[in-house]
Each structure stands twice: as structure tokens, then as C-alpha cells.
């Protein structure tokens, strides 16, 4: 899979990626600009309301066709500064709450993944310890070949120590 290189900005330096709370401010500014652009301006033109020949109510800045009865509609004034500030604060709070919630969900998912991996490791170690104990019980007294190439048998004390050590491993891993 090919990786694309990031384009450089006009100054020639590498592009900086903004994430987290630092990205909230441009997002809020864009949301406020969009909201203000959609709100009717205080100095808007005249608006007309009429019903066309199909029975559909039409609102337009252009006058209706000649002979069609129409009424003038007064546009509502745009939002007051206090209303805009309240809306921006509410939006900022919602965005921060959403960011915090997503961040917490990511931390929870990482913790759950870590617990699952630890549980799988514990289960694997438990199975290995049980198998080792079974091997010690059935074949522990058999002939061994040591690392130096000699062969011999385990003493009863060595076998008992190995079995006790394996039982401790089972207790640790098989909960």
C-alpha cells in the first residue's frame, strides 16, 4: 500500500494537523458564520406571499405574477447579540461534552482491550501450568537427560518441589 506524502503549505514547511480541543475554535467560528448567514438580515427586501394555481403557498422576494393576490410579509429581525452569544456558548458546551464523551469511550475501549489481552494470557498460562502438572504427575519420575548430556532421575524432593511450584502457578493464573 502506497503512502501519500503530505503537501507542503505555501511557506514550504510541513503541514500541521490540529486535533482535540484546539480544533473546537475554528469549528465554532464556522458554525456561527453559517448560522448568521442563514438568518434573515435586518435590511432584507420585501417578501411576498401568495397561493399559485396548484394551491401551493409561495414566498418570494419577487412580486407574484400579474393578477395574483399577494400579501406582504415582514421578515423577522435577525438574532440579537445576546442570543448569538448564548447559542455559541451552548454549542461550545455541547462540542466539549461530545469531545469528552468520545475521549472517555476511547479510554474505556483501550482498557477493555487490555483486560481482554491479560485474560487471554492468563488463560493460556493456566492451561500450560495444568498440562505441566499432569506431565509431572504421570512422567515426573521418568529418566531425564540434563543439559550436560547425562541422564538420571529426579529425586522425590525435586519432584515435590516442581509440583508445588506448578500448583502455585495454577493458583496465580487460573482464577
Using one digit for the tens of pLDDT, what is the confidence trace for 72-111? 888 777 777 788 889 999 999 999 999 999 999 999 999 9
**pLDDT band, very low/low/confident/very high, at 1 (cuts 50, 70, 90):** very low
**pLDDT band, very low/low/confident/very high, at 128 (cuts 50, 70, 90):** very high
Q: Are strands 57-60 and 143-145 parallel, antiparallel or unpaired?
A: unpaired
**pLDDT band, very low/low/confident/very high, at 31 (cuts 50, 70, 90):** low
Q: What is the mean pLDDT of the chain?
A: 79
Contact 122, 175 (CB under 8 A): yes
At residue 43, the pLDDT reads 47
Q: Is the pLDDT of residue 17 over 70?
A: no
Return d(Cα 60, Cα 64) in angstroms, integer: 8
At residue 38, the pLDDT reads 55
Amino acid at each position: 500500500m502506497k503512502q501519500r506524502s503530505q503537501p507542503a503549505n505555501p511557506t514550504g514547511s510541513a503541514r500541521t494537523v490540529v486535533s482535540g480541543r484546539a480544533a473546537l475554535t475554528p469549528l465554532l467560528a464556522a458554525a456561527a458564520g453559517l448560522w448568521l448567514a442563514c438568518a434573515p438580515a435586518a435590511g432584507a427586501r420585501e417578501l411576498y406571499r401568495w397561493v399559485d394555481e396548484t394551491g401551493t403557498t409561495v414566498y418570494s422576494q419577487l412580486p407574484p405574477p400579474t393578477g395574483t393576490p399577494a400579501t406582504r410579509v415582514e421578515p423577522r429581525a435577525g438574532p440579537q447579540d445576546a442570543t448569538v452569544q448564548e447559542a455559541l456558548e451552548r454549542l461550545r458546551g455541547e462540542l466539549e461534552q461530545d469531545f469528552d464523551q468520545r475521549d472517555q469511550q476511547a479510554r474505556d475501549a483501550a482498557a477493555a482491550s487490555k483486560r481482554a489481552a491479560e485474560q487471554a494470557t492468563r488463560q493460556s498460562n493456566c492451561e500450560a501450568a495444568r498440562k505441566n502438572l499432569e506431565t509431572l504427575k504421570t512422567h515426573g519420575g521418568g529418566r531425564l537427560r540434563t543439559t550436560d548430556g547425562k541422564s538420571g532421575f529426579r529425586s522425590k524432593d525435586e519432584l515435590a518441589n516442581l509440583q508445588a511450584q506448578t500448583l502455585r502457578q495454577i493458583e496465580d493464573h487460573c482464577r
